[in-house]
């Protein structure tokens, strides 16, 4: 969720760390801070607001010297958005300094214990409690103190710690919050995301849960919190520097919308066996027999990933003839979910670190489900926790509001449904026909993107309206939810998505003169019913914006504005119909003067519950 960057080596590290932190700004945050050890003393500078605010403050107070340091962007959990609550935090005894992602759930009892020991706190955070606890346990060995402190903690953490008494040592640890160590030539970087370190090294290893690493310029040692040595696997980072730079675009969200044709070509590459009508998914091969015998599919997700999972439910029932449900991950694990024999649980997540989805997957797995993942980030926690899975291959997604990952998730779920369907009920001809249509999707998205200027002009007509409806049926009901979410996330316009037929069961009371109602009205099995719903809105003064199939001139009689998408088989249509909704949300945010890539209160990777 928050951003972590730390360094130990031979270079002056302030600018190096700040550059890395800027690459993590997309993750969402409300304050930033930096600390170094300068001539044996820890120096901390922090402020609310953006990294740019921190840079301004550093110009005022003076540059941070030192070849070891850490910096952080915070997304507030415990305590408000203040300078005191910003990271890094220090203890009051041993010269300990810490940055932390996650939540220490038992911080209150630990704080009471530490206050009884005489410690005095200056923030409302759980992180300062952890700093004090490490300081209380420190007796000259920072690694041992961190291990001992974490044995007393419950919750999630990705931490980096340094100490004045060991001025060449960083100690990092992880449980539930991603953390990796970049390995350079006599230098090491710790970060919560590979994009922060890729300009300095392409070699890195990820910490596993309950692991601790002690790092000095001479090398590193990795162990568990119980001091059992472990050997990490140093790997090549799969990120290219140009993938995380803007290029000629104004915002990362805009770039990623326009990258969708290329991203999907990567998703498809090597996965179509059109001649024999078979989808090729090597990640599922070892579990083919179990998947063929599947009696139920449970799809788990949050936010945009849940909307993809909801489309997945239609796909599995339609193409593979398997009963399927889509579930809020955050609700699933706190029920008493029924997992029958031969159930398949599929976790859908861009980052592969979504805390609720990870916990729900583990719950399903513990109850006997086969665990699959539809994930974008290679080597992420959910990817490692699953029995098998399918990577999206859409490349890094920097914009907080997901776009290309959503179409990648829908595409990957379609491939899995086809893979299972072909082994159960689909003929080779049926599968080949659908694959041929699938291959045309990138070119068809390019045709939708070519209408961007028209979409911008239509958006401008309605951008001052504060309440919108998004309505669809069947496969495109979840698309309506996703369109509403995109508008809410970045333009801060209230928008509600729902099945079109649900409108007259209450929400129709909301419609007033000129209210924008976005209908996904492409050709399909329920086209005529959607047209009836459009009439109901028009009769009450609502203004209809329709996403329709190319060539449908009839719809112009009933809609004030129309966005056209190419014709395609209904199961594949959400990948096309969502694109004009993404562009509309983007333009609404820009027209209203908002920071598109850093929407307020949001984080890219939600690693706390």
Q: How far apart are CA 191 and CA 178, in angstroms?
A: 8
Q: Are the beta carbons of 272 and 418 closer than 8 angstroms?
A: no
Q: Are the beta carbons of 71 and 105 closer than 8 angstroms?
A: no
DSSP state string for 225-243 = TT--B-----EE----GGG
Q: How far apart are CA 192 and CA 169, in angstroms?
A: 18
Q: How far apart are CA 64 and CA 230, in angstroms?
A: 34
- Residues marked as catalytic: 2, 604
Q: Are the beta carbons of 425 and 557 closer than 8 angstroms?
A: no
Longest pairwise C-alpha distance within the chain: 79
1: three-class secondary structure by DSSP: coil
Q: How far apart are CA 272 and CA 256, in angstroms?
A: 24
Cβ contacts of residue 309 below 8 Å, gap of 6+?
A: 299, 300, 301, 326, 327, 346, 348, 409, 413
Q: How far apart are CA 173 and CA 209, in angstroms?
A: 8
Instruction: List C-alpha distances in Å: 454 to 176, 449, 462, 562, 580.
Output: 44, 10, 13, 9, 10
Label residues 263-291 b or e (16+ Cβ within 10 Å = b). Answer: bbebbbeebbebeebbbebebbeebeeeb
Instruction: List C-alpha distances in Å: 590 to 246, 253, 459.
Output: 16, 11, 11
Cβ contacts of residue 136 below 8 Å, gap of 6+?
A: 91, 93, 114, 117, 119
Residue with tokens 């490490």: 134
Q: Phi and psi at residue 344, in whole multiples of 5°? A: -110, 125
What does R_g of the chain's alpha carbons equal in angstroms? Answer: 25
Q: Are the beta carbons of 484 and 468 closer than 8 angstroms?
A: yes
């Amino acid at each position: 969720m928050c951003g972590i960057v730390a360094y130990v080596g031979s270079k002056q590290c302030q600018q190096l760390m700040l550059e890395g932190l800027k690459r993590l700004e997309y993750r969402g945050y409300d304050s930033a801070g930096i600390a170094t050890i300068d001539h044996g003393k820890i120096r901390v500078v922090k402020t609310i607001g953006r990294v740019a605010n921190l840079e301004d403050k550093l110009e005022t107070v003076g540059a941070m010297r030192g070849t070891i340091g850490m910096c952080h962007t915070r997304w507030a959990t415990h305590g408000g958005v203040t300078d005191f609550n910003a990271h890094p935090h220090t203890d009051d005894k041993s010269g300990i300094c810490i940055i932390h992602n996650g939540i220490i759930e038992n911080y209150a009892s630990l704080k009471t214990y530490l206050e009884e020991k005489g410690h005095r706190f200056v923030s409302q955070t759980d992180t300062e409690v952890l700093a004090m606890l490490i300081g209380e346990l420190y007796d000259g060995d920072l690694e041992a103190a961190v291990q001992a402190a974490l044995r007393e903690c419950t919750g999630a953490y990705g931490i980096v710690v340094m100490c004045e008494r060991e001025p060449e040592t960083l100690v990092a640890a992880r449980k539930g919050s991603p953390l990796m160590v970049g390995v350079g030539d006599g230098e090491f970087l710790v970060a919560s995301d590979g994009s922060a370190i890729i300009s300095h090294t392409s070699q890195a290893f990820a910490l596993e849960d309950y692991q601790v690493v002690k790092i000095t310029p001479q090398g590193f040692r990795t162990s568990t919190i119980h001091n059992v040595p472990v050997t990490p696997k140093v790997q090549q980072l799969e990120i290219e520097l140009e993938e995380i730079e803007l290029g000629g675009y104004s915002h990362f969200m805009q770039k990623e919308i326009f990258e969708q044709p290329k991203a999907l070509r990567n998703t498809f590459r090597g996965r179509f066996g059109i001649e024999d009508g078979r989808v090729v998914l090597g990640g599922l091969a070892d579990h083919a027999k179990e998947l063929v015998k599947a009696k139920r599919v449970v799809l788990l997700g949050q936010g945009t990933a849940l909307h993809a999972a909801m489309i997945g439910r239609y796909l599995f029932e339609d193409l593979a003839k398997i009963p399927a449900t889509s579930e809020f991950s955050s609700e699933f694990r706190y029920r008493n979910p029924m997992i029958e024999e031969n159930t398949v649980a599929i976790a859908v997540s861009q980052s592969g670190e979504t805390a609720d989805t990870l916990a729900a997957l583990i719950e399903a797995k513990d109850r006997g489900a086969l665990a699959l993942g539809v994930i974008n980030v290679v080597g992420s926690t959910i990817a490692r926790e699953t029995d098998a899975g399918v990577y999206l291959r859409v490349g890094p997604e920097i914009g907080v509001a997901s776009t290309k990952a959503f179409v990648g998730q829908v595409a990957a779920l379609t491939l899995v449904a086809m893979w299972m369907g072909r082994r159960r009920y689909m003929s080779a001809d049926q599968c080949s026909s659908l694959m041929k249509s699938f291959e045309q999707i990138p070119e068809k998205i390019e045709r939708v993107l070519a209408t961007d200027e028209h979409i911008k002009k239509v958006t401008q007509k309605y951008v001052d309206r504060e309440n919108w409806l998004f309505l669809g049926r069947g496969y495109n009901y979840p698309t309506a939810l996703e369109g509403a979410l995109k508008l809410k996330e970045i333009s801060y316009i209230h928008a509600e998505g729902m099945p079109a037929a649900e409108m007259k069961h209450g929400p129709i009371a909301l419609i007033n003169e000129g209210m924008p109602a976005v209908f996904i009205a492409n050709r399909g099995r329920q086209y005529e019913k959607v047209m009836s719903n459009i009439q109901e809105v028009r009769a009450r003064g609502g203004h209809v914006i329709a996403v329709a199939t190319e060539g449908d001139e009839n719809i112009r009689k009933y809609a004030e504005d129309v966005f056209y998408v190419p014709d395609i088989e209904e199961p594949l249509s959400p990948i096309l119909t969502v694109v004009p909704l993404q562009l509309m949300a983007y333009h609404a945010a820009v027209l209203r003067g908002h920071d598109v890539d850093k929407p307020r209160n949001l984080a890219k990777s939600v690693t706390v519950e």
